[in-house]
Amino acid sequence: MAARLLIEDGHDVTLHARSEARAADAKSALPTASGVVVGDLSSIEETRKVAEQANETGRFDAVIHNAAVGNREPRRIETVDGLAHVFAINVLATYVLTALITAPERLIYVSSGLHLGGSADLEDLQWANRPWNGHHAYSDSKLFEVALAFALARLWPTTCSNALEPGWVATKMGGPGATDDLALGAVTQAWLAVSEEPAATVSGAYFYHQKPSPTHPAVHDLDVQSGLLGACAELTGIEIS
């Protein structure tokens, strides 16, 4: 939906899909997209390849990080890298793509209002030493995503880096009982990507429906930001300068 809004506004858009089959589906749904990069974000190696494909197309003006898995996993699922599935996709893949894709003018990270209930504890990011709780794991991951966005706003002053929540909308992740407006879920993503309005060209802000919204205090904590970057660098061997 965000891609469609951007294309309708005259922009060139590259999509992402998890597999070649899903790439074909995405291109069929939006044939005017410029292309599709392909890779399963639960794998560090495949995520690297997504970044390589993205860089082959040239520097992007904006990158929207909106791929994620939800809060309904009934048990801890391990990826091919031996990492917790939710953390690997929602946090680590976003970190890898941010580090390896040529820095754009704008970075947009799609978080969730549930990040307000997350924990910034960095001691057991992989849920190896505590009972699994899918809701808490998801909330934590979305908190870390905002912390990543704010860390990049601080480290890369020439890039506008912001986060947002699309609302509780009726996607496969949100479920059929969601009460927010699905049509509005993509609007803030597209707005932050291209708008020249002063409100959209800030950095280190968090939005809900194009308006600043409260955040968990931990996302502003420099120790949390630095600790998260360090943990991700240790897991991947990739550092964000």
Q: Does the residue 99 lie in any domain?
A: yes
Q: Which amino acid is at 53?
A: Q
Angstrom distance (rounded) from CA 130 to CA 55: 39
3-state secondary structure of 149: helix
Q: Does the residue 208 lie in any domain?
A: yes
User: Looking at the predicted structure, is the pLDDT value of residue 11 above 80?
Assistant: yes
109 is catalytic: no
- What's the whole-number mean pLDDT along residues 129-155? 97
Q: Does the residue 150 lie in any domain?
A: yes
Angstrom distance (rounded) from CA 158 to CA 1: 27
Q: In sequence order, what are the beta bridge partners of 160?
A: 106
> Residue 53 is inside which H or E element, if any?
helix 44-56
Number of domains in the chain: 1
Catalytic residue, chosen from 27, 138, 206, 211, is 138
- pLDDT of res. 169: 72
Nearest-Å Rg of the Cα atoms of the chain is: 17
- pTM, full prediction: 0.95
Q: Which residues contact 35 (CB under 8 A, 6 or more apart)?
A: 14, 15, 57
Angle at 146 between CA 138 and CA 213, to 5 degrees: 105
> 95-126, pLDDT tens digit by residue?
999 999 999 999 999 999 999 999 999 999 99
Q: Which residues contact 181 (CB under 8 A, 6 or more apart)?
A: 167, 169
pLDDT band at 43 (very low <50, low <70, confident <90, very high): very high
pLDDT band at 232 (very low <50, low <70, confident <90, very high): very high
Catalytic residue, chosen from 142, 172, 206, 211, is 142
Angstrom distance (rounded) from CA 46 to CA 120: 27
User: Looking at the predicted structure, is the pLDDT value of residue 163 above 80?
Assistant: yes
Query: For residue 73, with 0-12 CB atoms within 10 Å meaning exposed, 13-18 middle and 19 or more buried, which class applies?
Result: middle
> 73-87, pLDDT tens digit by residue?
999 999 999 999 999
Q: Does the residue 117 lie in any domain?
A: yes
- pLDDT of res. 27: 97
Buried b (16+ CB within 10 A) or exposed e, 45-59: ebbbebbebbeeeee
Q: Does the residue 124 lie in any domain?
A: yes
DSSP string, 181-220: -GGGTTHHHHHHHH--SGGGS-SS-EEETTEE----GGGG
- What's the whole-number mean pLDDT along residues 64-72? 93
Q: Does the residue 241 lie in any domain?
A: no
Calculate the dihedral angle through the C-alpha atoms of 178, 210, 146, 165, rounding to the nearest 10 degrees.
Answer: 0
For 137, the domain range is 2-236
> 203-217, pLDDT tens digit by residue?
999 999 999 999 999
CATH number of the domain at 167, please: 3.40.50.720
User: Looking at the predicted structure, is the pLDDT value of residue 175 above 80?
Assistant: no
When the pLDDT of each residue in the chain is averaged and rounded to a whole number, the result is 96
- pLDDT of res. 61: 98
- pLDDT of res. 23: 98
- pLDDT of res. 228: 98
Place of tokens 């990270």: 109
138 is catalytic: yes
